[in-house]
């Protein structure tokens, strides 16, 4: 029985039968008196806030694990929020007595979570290949810059990231080496590739993957959004130029001959 499981057993016994001696709790739970005493002292130290008793229950512990994992996954791994900020967030929720909230502890959990996610993704990929569920890819490629440059290859139909690798350059050889290896793993091909008009990416589609190269619409949408704003600004500037001429015009209208 794990550490937290023992604590839950003791807490449930107290909740069901009321306050008891250490000897009686040991008899009801099947734990040693020394173990019961240590856990009672730990529960007492954690009981700082009105909501603290909920975290001692099995339902509270399950929800607490979900909260920690979801926060680390969505904000730490997916959004790059630092461990110090997440630690301060958990502190604001009064969780420092129930989970390891230090930045170093959170980094360790995020590393473990990252490894589990990668292992799960690899297992799902093998299962998909074994069942023949892999279809031709409608691909999109681009590079993104966080702490380091990363090359990203996505299947647009499913939104699945086929490749997300750190690279020192974005040359044709680097792109082709990474994508070709992933395609061999899945045993599939690319129908067409969406990208900007970088020469390495156009060559990747035509020469490396033997498919069509489709331009993305980012720059086009930027131009379409930018030009109307420029057109709308022209009447305003023309109006400002005409305003100084209005008083003379009005004076002329007052002094027109009959």
Q: What are phi and psi of 137, to 5 degrees?
A: -95, 135
**Helix or strand or coil: residue 71?**
helix
- Model confidence over 72-91: pLDDT tens digits? 999 999 888 999 999 999 99
Q: Is the pTM of this model over 0.85?
A: no
Using CA atoms, how far apart are residues 135 and 160, in angstroms rounded to an integer? 12
Q: What is the mean pLDDT of residues 184-206?
A: 93
Distance of alpha carbon 186 from alpha carbon 160, whole angstroms? 13
Fold topology of 137-215: Nucleotidyltransferase; domain 5 (3.30.420)
pLDDT tens digits along 11-30: 777 778 788 887 888 878 88
What are 45-65's pLDDT values in tens digits?
888 888 888 888 888 888 999
pLDDT in tens, 105-153: 999 999 999 999 989 988 988 888 888 878 899 999 999 887 789 999 9
Segments making up each domain of the chain, as ranges: 3-46, 60-121, 137-215, 218-254
The DSSP letter of residue 9 is H
Q: Which has the closest alpha carbon to 153: 86, 229, 205, 111? A: 205
215 or 251, which is more confident:
215
209, 141 Cβ separation under 8 angstroms = no
Cβ pair 25, 13 in contact under 8 A: yes
CATH topology of domain 3-46: Arc Repressor Mutant, subunit A (1.10.10)
- CA-CA distance, 77 to 69, in Å (whole number)? 10
């Amino acid at each position: 029985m794990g550490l937290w499981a023992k604590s839950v057993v003791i807490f449930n016994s107290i909740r069901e039968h009321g306050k008891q001696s250490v000897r009686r709790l040991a008899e009801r739970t099947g734990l040693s008196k020394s173990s019961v005493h240590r856990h009672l002292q730990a529960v007492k130290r954690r009981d700082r806030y009105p909501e603290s008793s909920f975290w001692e229950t099995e339902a509270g512990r399950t929800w607490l694990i979900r909260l920690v994992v979801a926060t680390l996954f969505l904000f730490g791994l997916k959004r790059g929020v630092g461990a110090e900020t997440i630690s301060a967030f958990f502190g604001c929720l009064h969780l420092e007595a129930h989970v390891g909230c230090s930045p170093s502890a959170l980094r360790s959990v995020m590393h473990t979570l990252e490894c589990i996610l990668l292992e799960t993704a690899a297992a799902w990929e093998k299962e998909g290949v074994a069942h023949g569920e892999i279809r031709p890819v409608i691909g999109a490629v681009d590079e993104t810059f966080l702490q380091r440059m990363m090359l990203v290859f996505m299947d647009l139909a499913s939104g699945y990231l086929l490749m997300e690798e750190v690279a020192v350059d974005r040359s044709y050889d680097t792109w082709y080496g990474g994508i070709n290896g992933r395609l061999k793993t899945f045993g599939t091909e690319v129908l067409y590739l969406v990208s900007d008009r970088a020469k390495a990416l156009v060559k990747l589609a035509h020469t490396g993957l033997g498919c069509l190269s489709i331009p993305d619409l980012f720059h086009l949408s930027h131009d379409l959004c930018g030009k109307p704003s420029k057109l709308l600004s022209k009447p305003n500037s023309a109006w400002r130029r005409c305003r100084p001429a209005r008083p003379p015009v009005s004076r002329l209208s007052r002094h027109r001959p009959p």
